[in-house]
A = this chain, B = another copy of it.
Amino acid sequence: MRALKIGLLGCGTVGQGFVRLLNEERFRDLRIRRILVRDLSKRRPGVDRSLLTTNAIEVLDDCDLVVELIGGVHSAGAYVRRALRNGCDVVTANKALLADSGRDLFAVARQSGARIGFEASVCGGIPVIRAIERGLAGDTIESITGILNGTCNYILTRIEENGADFAAALRLAQERGFAEADATLDVTGVDALQKLQILCELAFGSSHRWVRVHGIDDVRREEIEQARSRRSVIRHVASARRVPGGVELRVERRELPETHPLASVRDENNAVIVRGKAVGEMLFVGKGAGSLPTAAAVLSDVIEIASVPRAAAMVI
């Protein structure tokens, strides 16, 4: 593993988790040089305050690798683009940015020879990007079906188990840190769609896409109780499959029998079922969000970039 100077953009929940994981002795060659934050005075336990700056240029222009954990599309996009143009590798957990301008950013990266790691952008700690990109490289993927948004799944299982209504379950998700103060992107299904689009780009390339999205914000407790009386559960399912002329993407509530592999996925967990022509159905389940699981996925990309010299990055 070669030594890397890391510029960290953002130091919220995931950023602090990343700093914590990097503290281990075996990662001594991976050094955070500067950290971009908006508010210097905020409490960030375990983070060396002398690394903090509010000046993005200081972070971007003196490092080998940028870790982008700001989120959102505008500033994050500008920073990532600048880093890639500088020939700097980038690791990001930002699904919104990749769904919005992923193709463009990958084109910039190709030109400068930089790399983009994005394992953390879908399903947090579950290495599903590597599984699709590498593990199934020899296969033809037929469909992808999953629970890609932990907030929605947490809300649905709270209604199911506690008999809460949607508003109360959402408040609980916010109190427990599984939902942002503004959970619109989660509960409308937009966040799940963004993640599904990233998986589709890997699995199906740039085929034409038909999209249909329905959230969970109009779910009623009765819907879930009625499903239970039929030994079923309601899950918010994102799915993509090949159809004549392209790929069909759907994000919607589905009633699944209790025995369905996605029915047993509870709380903030995520799950993905990938169906390959040769390998058949494969299921991955794990924590889709949270500070340390997401930070571990970010770190796995950083380690891979530090371990494989640039000119040799995998080009399939």
Interface residues of A (CB under 8 A from B): 1, 17, 21, 24, 27, 119, 124-127, 130-131, 134-140, 259, 261, 264, 276-287, 290, 292-293, 295-300, 302-304, 307-309, 311-316
Chosen A-B contacts, 29 in total, with CB atoms closer than 8 Å, are A21-B138, A27-B138, A119-B135, A127-B130, A127-B131, A127-B134, A127-B135, A130-B130, A134-B300, A135-B297, A135-B300, A138-B296, A138-B298, A261-B285, A264-B264, A276-B296, A279-B292, A279-B297, A280-B286, A280-B287, A281-B287, A282-B284, A284-B284, A304-B314, A307-B315, A308-B308, A308-B313, A308-B314, A312-B312
Interface majority SS (helix, strand, loop, mixed), chain A: mixed
Chain B residues with Cβ below 8 Å from A140 are 24
Copy number in this complex? 2
For A281, the closest partner residue in chain B by CB is: B286
Known contacts A135-B300, A300-B137, A314-B308; A283 and B285 CB within 8 A of each other: yes
Chain B residues with Cβ below 8 Å from A300 are 134-139
For A277, the closest partner residue in chain B by CB is: B292
Chain B residues with Cβ below 8 Å from A134 are 127, 130, 300, 303-304
Chain B residues with Cβ below 8 Å from A295 are 138, 278
For A127, the closest partner residue in chain B by CB is: B135
With beta carbons under 8 angstroms apart, the residue of B127, B138, B139, B264 that contacts A136 is B127
Shortest distance from the beta carbon of A289 to any chain B beta carbon, whole Å: 11
A1 to B264, CA, bound (A): 40
A278 to B264, CA, bound (A): 22
Shortest distance from the beta carbon of A131 to any chain B beta carbon, whole Å: 5
Instruction: State whether B17 touches A278 (Cβ < 8 A).
Output: yes
A281 to B269, CA, bound (A): 10
Q: List 8 A-B pairs, minimum CB-CB distance, nearest first.
A: A127-B135, A312-B312, A138-B299, A125-B279, A282-B286, A278-B292, A278-B296, A283-B285
Instruction: State whether B17 touches A304 (Cβ < 8 A).
Output: no
